[in-house]
Amino acid sequence: MGNLILCKTRPAERPYYVPELGIHLYSGEELSYYIYNNLLLIDEKFPDERLFDFLRQIEQDKLEDRIRRMREQGAGLYEILYVILQDLRYYSSAELFSFRKQLEQMSLGGAAARMKAKGDALFSRGKYFSALRIYNQLLSSENREVSGADFASRILVSKGACYARVEDYPEAMRCLQQAYLLNRDSSLPEKMYVLNVMMGRDELPPGLENIVSEEKLEQFRSNLQNKKNLAQYQGKGLEAAALLDKEEPERTEAYLELLYRWKDEYRKNQTT
Amino acid sequence: MDELILGIDLCDSYSQISIFSSVKNAPEPFLMGSDEASCLIPTVLCKMRGEENWLIGSEAYRRALMGEGTMVDKLVKLLHKDGSATIEGTQYSAVTLMGHYIEQLLALPRAKYGIRDVRCVAFGLKDLNPDLLDRLTAACDQVGLSRDKIRFLSHTECFSYYVASQPKELWPNMVVGFDLTDAGLDYFELRAIRGRRPQILEARREPLDEAFDLDILETPVGERMADTILSNCADRMLTKKLVSSVFLTGEGFTSVKWAPDFVKKICNKRKVFGGQHLFSDGACFIAYDSTLPESAYPYVCICEGRLASSISLYAVKDGRNEQIMLANAGSNWYESRVSAEFILDDVHSLDLIITPFSTQRVETISISLSELPARPNKTTRIQVILSFASENHVTVRIVDKGFGELFPASEQVIRKDFLIS
């Protein structure tokens, strides 16, 4: 059986802005939810004056003092995040226990892996340019993890995916080609072929002709066709298909409205 | 005394004002003349011809009779109906007229005591109709009386607090009251249930069919007839009841010489008090009590205008599951509008616990939340707004407030009306 949770404070007048998601947080509950579900997006700069101002507004002065003391004593980010969730009392003991486990898992990974995970989290939320910034930072850093061919290749593939989502196919192709040169990942030729198709060329990119057989190419074509078919019944395709039942002129109006919403969402996602 | 604390009994025929005296620590009536009957101020308004000058009471009658202005009466009824009156070609809404009336009414104690500021005004009314109260609030607003400075009380509440403010020797047992006016004859009954903490003051009003037009008291035959009617009424209402005191009020009881038999009956082993301004005094006691940090009345008053049941729900507060009180038994229904916000944690219905104060027999009203938009757990904030249309009629509105910008609000509303005992 569930519970109601009493909201104690009024929404903050100066909300806490989360640039990674392009949203504002207005209450302790929202802050808790953000921390719990977006751990990958939070970095060492999180406990700053903006956060303290927000905590004061939601009547969490004691928590602010506690975090300040913890910072002076050199406490780590994860320790601070745990204390915030504990004090805001939005999550139950069982949920806090699972969060603790998540933090422990995260601490095991290196800094570069965490940064890559942050980029991936931004990508999955549609923040392609923010994700690109993270990948570029990683590639230009002198971290030893990044110098490994496999890891660098994975970053380049992710970077390519970002470019593909913003329809910069030539740049996406360059990223995949670099990634392929690094570790000859066998899954990449198919991705490169799809990019070529997106650029209007139903053929393999130069350099792959000798590597990919005719049969394999046919397989790529068939896979792409299947994905296209499936796309009609998923995500945005499904949203558009749902409007087919409408009569004209309502249908055209609905399509335009949908298109406007998609554009708006896209713009919002890319402005941060 | 640097601010006025007033009790106003606002009726269709007469109004009365009581002012809380800090010297006597009790209300004192506002008298227009020297005798007690002069506390009755006719509820009429007169606009002087060609001027923006408004008069009330007997002066308004006089000027209107002399043809110097236009008079409007039955102001409470007019406000109830949300009517209007056209004076010199201009239509005035009932709210505007009531605003002028209240302004002139307040001017009386302001002039007498030389104090402009008002700390609290409690209005005593025969019926607490929600529309009437909303319009009266608007009329008060018009004359600069903000919502936090006004209270609305039923006559039964005024009677209860008047009695509760008297020495305890007067009310060891039941106390009754008769209010005889042009509008009718009302019977009041109050008893204190002392076995519980806090003590309960249970009061009720009963409009009696035996009402008569006060004009019949102008002839000896009519007086005798009225005495007989009231004597029968006393027999019916007081038999087999242990009554300590009887209070007589209303313009019909300005004098009781016309009712010897009735007086004889009610005086039998009881203390009897007659006089005006009982309701305005009761209202004034409550107005004064509202200004105190803590109530001086250690009672829960269950009567017309007050909730007989408390309404609560269970919710997690500071990590612990607690019973959260939304409306307390004994509180004034008009002032019991409450709003609280909750987050749904695997909850599919809102369960309100109704606990009648007298029986403590708990009833649960369940409101389904399935119509709210589907979201991940703990990401739906609801605002629960509890309001009352009377002491029995509860309206619950549940508004979807979303979860900030993470899950925007749909502002969808689920509404449920139900009756409580």
Print the SS3 string covering chain A: CCEEEECCCCCCCCCEEECCCCEEECCHHHHHHHHHHCHHHCCCCCCCHHHHHHHHHCCCHHHHHHHHHHHHCCCCHHHHHHHHHHHHCCCCHHHHHHHHHHHHHHHHCCHHHHHHHHHHHHHHCCCHHHHHHHHHHHHHCCCHHHHCHHHHHHHHHHHHHHHHHCCCHHHHHHHHHHHHHHHCCCCHHHHHHHHHHHCCCCCCCCCCCCCCCHHHHHHHHHHHHHHHHHHCCCHHHHHHHHHHHCCCCHHHHHHHHHHHHHHHHHHHHHCC
Q: How far apart, in whole angstroms, are the C-alpha atoms of residue A38 and residue A117?
A: 11
Whole-number pLDDT of residue B359: 76
A8 vs A252: which has the higher pLDDT: A252
**Angle at CA B81, nearest 5°, toward B78 and B83?**
60
Instruction: For residue A1, give how far its alpha carbon lies from the nearest alpha carbon of chain B (Å).
Output: 7
Count of C-beta atoms within a 10 Å radius of residue B386? 18
Q: How far apart, in whole angstroms, are the C-alpha atoms of residue B54 and residue B48?
A: 6
Q: Return the closest-CA partner of residue B321 out of A83, A89, A60.
A: A89
Q: Return the closest-CA partner of residue B58 out of B36, B80, B75, B73.
A: B73
Tokens representing residue B34 in the block: 């020297």
pLDDT in tens, B154-182: 999 999 999 999 998 888 899 999 999 98
Look at A233-242, A262-271, B178-187 and tell me which has the smallest mean pLDDT. Answer: A262-271
- CB-based contact, B403 to chain A, within 8 Å: yes
Instruction: For residue A256, give how far its alpha carbon lies from the nearest alpha carbon of chain B (Å).
Output: 22
- A2: closest chain B residue by CA: B346
The answer to whether the CB atoms of A4 and B405 lie below 8 A apart is no
Whole-number pLDDT of residue B415: 96
- CB-based contact, A4 to chain B, within 8 Å: yes
Instruction: For residue B377, give how far its alpha carbon lies from the nearest alpha carbon of chain A (Å).
Output: 10
Q: Is the pLDDT of residue A272 over 60?
A: no
The answer to whether the CB atoms of B316 and A90 lie below 8 A apart is no
Give Cβ neighbours of residue B405 (< 8 Å, ≥ 6 apart). Answer: A23, A24, A25, A26
pLDDT in tens, B272-312: 998 889 999 999 999 999 999 988 888 888 888 889 899 99
Tokens representing residue A258 in the block: 């949908």
pLDDT in tens, A151-176: 889 999 999 999 998 889 999 999 99
Q: Is the pLDDT of residue B1 over 70?
A: no
Tokens representing residue A22 in the block: 């392009």
Do B45 and B101 touch, CB atoms closer than 8 A? yes
- CB-based contact, A27 to chain B, within 8 Å: yes
Q: Return the closest-CA partner of residue A80 out of A51, A109, A108, A116.
A: A51
Whole-number pLDDT of residue A244: 82
Strand partners for B93:
B84
What average pLDDT does range A245-250 have in this prediction? Answer: 86
B364 vs A8: which has the higher pLDDT: B364
CA Rg, chain A, in Å?
A: 23
**Angle at CA B303, nearest 5°, toward B298 and B309?**
80
- CB-based contact, A7 to chain B, within 8 Å: yes
B chain contacts of residue A5, beta-carbon cutoff 8 Å: 315-316, 342-343, 345, 378
The answer to whether the CB atoms of B343 and A1 lie below 8 A apart is no
B chain contacts of residue A23, beta-carbon cutoff 8 Å: 404-406
pLDDT in tens, A94-105: 999 999 998 888
**Angle at CA A97, nearest 5°, toward A92 and A103?**
125
Do A186 and A195 touch, CB atoms closer than 8 A? no
Complete domains list, chain B, with CATH: 4-154 (3.30.420.40), 158-279 (3.30.420.40), 309-419 (2.60.34)
Tokens representing residue B313 in the block: 């729900």
What average pLDDT does range B9-23 have in this prediction? Answer: 93
3-class SS letters over chain B: CCCEEEEEEECCCEEEEEEEECCCCEEEECCCCCCHHHHCEECCEEEECCCCCEEEHHHHHHHHHCCCEEEECCHHHHHHCCCEEEECCEEEEHHHHHHHHHHHHHHHHHHHHCCCCEEEEEEEECCCCHHHHHHHHHHHHHCCCCHHHEEEEEHHHHHHHHHHCCCHHHCCCEEEEEEEECCEEEEEEEEEECCCCCEEEEEEEEEECCCCCHHHHHCHHHHHHHHHHHHHHHHHHHCCCCEEEEEEECHHHCCCCCCHHHHHHHCCCCEEEECCCHHHHHHHHHHHHHHCCCCCCCEEEECCCECCEEEEEEEEECCEEEEEEEECCCCEHHHCCEEEEEEEECCCEEEEEEEECCCCCCEEEEEECCCCCCCCCCCCEEEEEEEECCCCEEEEEEEECEEEECECCCCCEEEEEEECC
Amino acid at site A88? L
Instruction: For residue A117, give how far its alpha carbon lies from the nearest alpha carbon of chain B (Å).
Output: 21
Q: How far apart, in whole angstroms, are the C-alpha atoms of residue A4 and residue A90?
A: 11
- CB-based contact, A255 to chain B, within 8 Å: no
Look at A34-38, A202-206, B161-165 and tell me which has the smallest mean pLDDT. Answer: A202-206
B chain contacts of residue A2, beta-carbon cutoff 8 Å: 344-348
Amino acid at site B189? E
Any long-range contacts for B190-193 (C-beta under 8 Å, 24+ apart)? Answer: B190/B159, B190/B160, B190/B163, B190/B303, B192/B299
Whole-number pLDDT of residue A186: 86
Q: How far apart, in whole angstroms, are the C-alpha atoms of residue B315 and residue B319?
A: 9
Burial of A216 (0-12, 13-18, 19+ CB in 10 A): middle
pLDDT in tens, B116-129: 999 999 999 998 88
- Identify which of B317, B340, B404 has the shortest CB distance to residue A27: B404
pLDDT in tens, B59-78: 999 999 999 999 999 999 99
